[in-house]
């Protein structure tokens, strides 16, 4: 209106006024068109973001919003996508944990059933008088005692796993030299390795510092991992324990080597840690339970077991231990 009044005052020729009016109408049309296009684009982005939020609320965590600009809504969409990614990862982790719980029940059932059935058979044979020979009776009692000890160890493992899972167990960390841990592991498993004809060796670099660990729990970890490696490699293979210094502790490596490729066995152990359901279902129940317990103890120490292939000739499992018992960073874990 003001522009129109000014034009009336400035232009004497009426044609000039008409020209200004036409220009003003054209400008108004352009502004209206631009505003319409911007509002339409804004509405589409808001509808896209709103629709994605509704899908996310329905549990479809894979949904993402397309980002095609650098405005405020695009930045909001970027934040939304980051949130959706975290929710998707959390949902995937929850699914894996739920699957692990179900698998754990199956593993426990297997490990309980075998020694219980064996012990019951032995006891029934003795009580029903089917075994009269003293030598056979002694043999049956030895087997029953072995199975009872296995059940006792299983119950202890399950109790410790439950405590570790709920942070109910308090690690008794003491300054420990990795060489002492290796020596105890070799002493406990050397006979098993000799029977399997597998070379078991250990090496701790001189620069490796003293670390803060729960010696009892970490000894169990080493026994479980090394014993599994001994049984995994064929006759004539080797299992090596190595310790290397890191910035704030030590990197522990358990590696097995053998002649000839057995990728199916490596894949099984690899995916036991990564949570592949198909491979987990094919693995030995006792192995899975022992690896799960070892992983739980290492996580309680602030690290994690990472499996890595050694070509087609073996597998290495690595995890970090720190001097002060703090959580190890990825750099300290050597990953």
Among the residue ranges 36-45, 54-63, 203-212, 280-289, the one predicted with the least confidence is: 280-289
Domain that holds residue 103: 93-165
Pairwise CA distance, residues 237 & 239, whole Å: 7
Is residue 186 domain-shared with residue 262, that is, in the same domain?
Answer: yes
Q: What is the mean pLDDT of the chain?
A: 76
Domain boundary among 56, 90, 124: 90
Q: What residues contact 295, with CB distance under 8 A and at least 6 apart?
A: 273, 304, 305
Instruction: Give the model's pLDDT for residue 17.
Output: 59
Are 250 and 178 within 8 A, CB to CB?
A: yes
Residue 49 placed within a domain: yes
Question: Greatest CA span in the chain, whole angstroms?
Answer: 135
**What is the arithmetic mean of pLDDT over 9-25?**
63
Pairwise CA distance, residues 166 & 186, whole Å: 31
Instruction: Give the model's pLDDT for residue 55.
Output: 82
Per-residue pLDDT tens over the stretch 270-282:
454 544 443 333 3
Burial of 154 (0-12, 13-18, 19+ CB in 10 A): middle
Instruction: Give the model's pLDDT for residue 79.
Output: 85
Residue 30 in tokens: 């352009």
In eight-state DSSP terms, residue 107 is: H
Residue 265, pLDDT > 60, answer no
Pairwise CA distance, residues 167 & 173, whole Å: 15
Are 214 and 301 within 8 A, CB to CB?
A: yes
Residue 289 in tokens: 């339970």
**What is the arithmetic mean of pLDDT over 256-270?**
54
Pairwise CA distance, residues 174 & 198, whole Å: 32
**What is the arithmetic mean of pLDDT over 39-66?**
78
In eight-state DSSP terms, residue 323 is: S
Burial of 304 (0-12, 13-18, 19+ CB in 10 A): middle
Residue 328 placed within a domain: no
CATH number for the domain including 121? 1.10.287.130
Strand partners, 128: none
Is residue 183 domain-shared with residue 132, that is, in the same domain?
Answer: no
Is residue 65 domain-shared with residue 19, that is, in the same domain?
Answer: yes
Residue 22, pLDDT > 60, answer yes
Is residue 25 domain-shared with residue 152, that is, in the same domain?
Answer: no
pLDDT band for 132, please (50, 70, 90 cuts). confident
With CA atoms as reference, report the closest residue to 27 among 19, 37, 38.
Answer: 19
The single residue listed with the structure tokens 């190890």 is 328
With CA atoms as reference, report the closest residue to 254 among 182, 327, 171.
Answer: 182
Are 233 and 257 within 8 A, CB to CB?
A: yes
Are 204 and 182 within 8 A, CB to CB?
A: yes
**What is the arithmetic mean of pLDDT over 40-68?**
78
In eight-state DSSP terms, residue 169 is: S
pLDDT band for 186, please (50, 70, 90 cuts). very high
Pairwise CA distance, residues 57 & 287, whole Å: 39
Per-residue pLDDT tens over the stretch 161-184:
777 666 666 788 899 999 999 999
Are 84 and 56 within 8 A, CB to CB?
A: yes
Question: Where is mean pLDDT largest: 71-85, 155-169, 204-218, 279-293?
Answer: 204-218
Instruction: Give the model's pLDDT for residue 327.
Output: 54
Residue 40, pLDDT > 80, answer no
Torsion angles phi and psi, residue 140, rounded to 5: -65, -40
Residue 330 placed within a domain: no
Is residue 177 domain-shared with residue 317, that is, in the same domain?
Answer: yes
* pTM exceeds 0.85, yes or no: no
Residue 263, pLDDT > 50, answer no
Instruction: Give the model's pLDDT for residue 262.
Output: 46
Task: Give the number of domains in the chain.
Answer: 3
| For the chain, percent of residues with pLDDT exceeding 70 | 73
Domain boundary among 90, 106, 125: 90
């Amino acid at each position: 209106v003001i522009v129109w009044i000014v034009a009336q005052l400035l232009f004497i020729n009426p044609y000039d006024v008409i020209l200004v009016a036409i220009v003003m109408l054209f400008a108004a049309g352009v502004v209206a068109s631009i505003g319409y296009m911007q509002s339409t684009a804004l509405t589409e982005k808001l509808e896209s973001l709103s629709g994605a939020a509704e899908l996310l609320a329905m549990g479809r965590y894979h949904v993402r919003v397309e980002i095609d600009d650098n405005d405020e809504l695009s930045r909001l969409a970027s934040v939304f996508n980051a949130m959706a990614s975290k929710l998707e990862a959390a949902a995937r982790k929850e699914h894996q944990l739920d699957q692990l719980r179900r698998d754990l029940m199956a593993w426990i059932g297997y490990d309980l059933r075998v020694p219980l059935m064996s012990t019951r058979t032995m006891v029934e044979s003795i009580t029903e008088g089917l075994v009269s020979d003293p030598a056979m009776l002694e043999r049956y009692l030895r087997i029953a005692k072995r199975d009872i000890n296995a059940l006792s160890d299983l119950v202890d493992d399950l109790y410790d796993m439950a405590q570790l899972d709920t942070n109910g167990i308090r690690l008794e960390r003491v300054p420990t030299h990795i060489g002492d841990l290796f020596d105890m592991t070799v002493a406990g498993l050397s006979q098993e390795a000799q029977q399997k004809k597998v070379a078991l060796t250990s090496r701790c670099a001189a620069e490796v510092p003293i670390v803060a660990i729960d010696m009892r729990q970490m000894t169990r970890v080493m026994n479980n991992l090394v014993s599994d490696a001994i049984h995994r490699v064929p006759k004539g293979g080797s299992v090596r324990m190595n310790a290397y210094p890191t910035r704030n502790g030590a990197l522990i490596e358990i590696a097995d080597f053998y002649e000839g490729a057995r990728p199916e066995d490596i894949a099984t152990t690899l995916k036991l840690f990564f949570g592949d359901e198909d491979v987990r279902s094919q693995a030995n129940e006792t192995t899975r339970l022992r690896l799960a317990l070892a992983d739980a103890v290492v996580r309680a120490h602030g690290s994690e077991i990472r499996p890595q292939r050694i070509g087609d000739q073996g597998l290495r499992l690595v995890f970090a231990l720190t001097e002060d018992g703090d959580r190890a960073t990825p750099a300290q874990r050597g990953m």
